Amino acid sequence: MAFECRQDTEIGLKNCSGKCVDELGKSELLSNQIVFVKNGKTESLGTEKQLSISKSNSEIGLSFSEALPNQHWSFSDLPPALISEIFNYLDPKGLGIVSCVNTYLYRLASDHCVWKDFYYERWGQPATAANLGPGGSDENSWKKLFGEREFRSKTFMGRYSIDTLYGHKEAVRTVFVLASKKLVFTSGYDQVVRMWDLEEGLSITSSRPLGCTIRAVAADTKLLVAGGTDGFIHGWKVEDGNPHLFDLRAPQNQNMEFRIWGHDGPITCLALEFGKMYSGSWDMTVRVWDRSSLKCLNILVHNDWVWSLIPHDTTIGSTAGSSVYIWDTASGSLLSVIYSAHAGNAYALAQCHSGKLLFTGGEDGSIHMFEVTRNVKCNMRRIATWIPHTGSVYSLAFEFPWLVSASSDGKISLIDVRKLLKTSKISHTGKISKGSNADQKNVEPPQRMLHGFGCNLFSVGVGSDRIACGGEDGVIRIWNFSQALEIEQRIQSLRGMKLENRMRRRKLQIEMSSGKGNPGEQCSAAAKKNQMNSDKNGWHNRRRVGGKVKV
């Protein structure tokens, strides 16, 4: 953060013992000398002139403190409020580096409320407030929570196991992961909505056949909805005392179950947010519903079949045909549109929690990353492109920093978007670094591919350490990366032990070189100790133990 002075500003320097290289021609100042910089020129003042300036300053209410010999100022001498404002312009990595300077800055950086903003911007509201300590308001706990979640984000590059879930008799068209409750909801051509345990990989319950193909499912902790090809939305309300929230097997009850009509074509996408519900259909409309009264509030008309939608705050993004739209949900006005974003239909849509990044996947096998800015008007700018698949991209899911895609080529790609986010905190600056150009010549490759299934994959969902996917074969697969987290933790502990041993050896070498004790005795003792350790772990010792075991 740069501070600049106007050219006509007068700056008084008193008791300056350093050298001003640029302005004063490398001349050392005297301890009782005052130098003024005015209009780019320097001027040294004598004692009489200093007295007159002091008198004039006292007349207008300005006072200079008495000379303090050898006075040095540092960044930590700034007021805490000003330091806090400066910290707002740092990203998590920069804030962590600043906290290593001294204990004062460590305390300010650790207690800073910006860690809560960092967490909400990347992952939204945490699943449970119990992790935040007593009362859930300890700011230092937000830093700890952010560090734990950032550490867990490395798991998708580690080892995994696959849980294969059987239950659907036909192709699975939709998969929804409710990570906060560790539940997975699936449905498809067999007209049945099934609930699975995300961690155990077990079937919990299933609904009766709903009468048509289910292409969309959405859920939160209060409501579960499913959209059918007949144009209806079937929903279940939360049941008090039920650990799995919804009772899908119960007979139809008007108080706990409902069905609403409104679309003239198959429903392809659903979303829930606060007091509203959103549905998109092949009738070329997106409908906004009130969750309490189940009445339609607004209709957003497109010029082609609607394939996907995603709401954020007061806006909603949607794809229809090959185009991408941003709408205002209150007024129903179109804020921004990109025509022909893909060569073919734009099937998939995903967005980050802050709403600044929008991802689209299409029939051409490509994935585009857009920056969404809202100043006077809403703008979308494409800043990155990936082509990880040879078939159509049917589904996208985003869990910072991983963008997960499912395609008709039977593969799942994992893309880390952190390389494109190199500037300071997005929520404060509103800027995102320019990523690679969207040309075909400069396409970003995916970081990891999961493949080997050989069938169309229609839908994918992602949690903190698991990925769930369903496809044409009617099988639900859950990639479990929790073992990768345990392995990474063991690696971190081993690194800490190695670092501690290295520091001990270095300290011993410093003591020996400084002449403390007899170096010969220390070397002999260290050699004897190492020899004893090597004897314990040597091959001949292991062989002797092995022989005893055999006998």
- Give pLDDT tens digits for 372-405: 988 778 889 998 899 999 999 999 999 988 999 9
Of 395, 390, 365, whose CA–CA distance to 462 is shortest? 395
Q: What is the model's pLDDT at position 315?
A: 92
**Strand duo 334-338 + 323-328: pairing:** antiparallel
Collapse the DSSP code of 197 into the 3-class scheme (helix H, G, I; strand E, B; otherwise coil) and give the result.
strand
Collapse the DSSP code of 155 into the 3-class scheme (helix H, G, I; strand E, B; otherwise coil) and give the result.
helix
Segment 188-194 long-range contacts (CB within 8 Å, at least 24 positions apart):
188/213, 188/214, 188/458, 188/470, 188/474, 189/213, 190/474, 191/228, 192/168, 193/217, 193/224, 193/226, 193/248, 194/167, 194/168
The tokens describing 424, both together, are: 């300071």
Q: Which residues pair with 384 in a beta bridge?
A: 369
Q: What is the model's pLDDT at position 91?
A: 74
What is the spatial distance between Cα 118 and Cα 402, in angstroms, rounded to a whole number? 16
Q: What is the model's pLDDT at position 18?
A: 41
The tokens describing 372, both together, are: 């969404």
In what side-by-side order are the strands of the sheet with 172-178? 172-178, 183-188, 194-197, 203-206
Neighbours of 49 (CB within 10 A): 13
- Residue 47 has φ and ψ, to the nearest 5°, of -70, -45
CB 441 within 8 A of CB 473: no
Q: How far is CA 79 from its chain centroid?
A: 31
DSSP E strand stretches across 160-305: 161-165, 172-178, 183-188, 194-197, 203-206, 214-219, 223-228, 232-237, 257-261, 267-273, 276-281, 285-290, 296-301
Q: What is the model's pLDDT at position 148?
A: 80
Q: What is the model's pLDDT at position 285?
A: 96
Contacts of 311 (CB under 8 A, 6+ apart): 271, 273, 276, 278, 317, 329
Q: What is the model's pLDDT at position 515?
A: 67
Q: What is the model's pLDDT at position 85?
A: 77
Of 360, 323, 358, 363, whose CA–CA distance to 343 is shortest? 363
pLDDT lower than 50: segments of the chain: 1-45, 47, 49, 51, 53-67, 129-137, 139, 423-442, 536, 539-540, 542-551
Q: What is the model's pLDDT at position 40?
A: 43
The tokens describing 303, both together, are: 């010029």
CB 217 within 8 A of CB 185: yes
Q: Is the peptide bond before 388 cis (omega within 30 degrees of 0)?
A: no
Name the burial class of residue 182, with classes exposed (0-12), middle (13-18) and buried (19+) by CB atoms within 10 angstroms of its CB: middle
CB 211 within 8 A of CB 192: no
Q: What is the model's pLDDT at position 545?
A: 45
What is the spatial distance between Cα 319 and Cα 326, in angstroms, rounded to a whole number? 9
**H helices within 135-230, ranges in order?**
139-152
The dihedral region occupied by 158, where left means phi > 0, alpha psi between -120 and 50, and beta the remainder, is beta
Neighbours of 340 (CB within 10 A): 11
Handedness of CA 108, 114, 116, 118 (dihedral sign): negative
Q: What is the model's pLDDT at position 387?
A: 92
CB 306 within 8 A of CB 268: yes
The tokens describing 539, both together, are: 């091959």
CB 322 within 8 A of CB 345: yes
Q: What is the model's pLDDT at position 523?
A: 52
In what side-by-side order are the strands of the sheet with 412-416? 393-399, 402-407, 412-416, 448-450
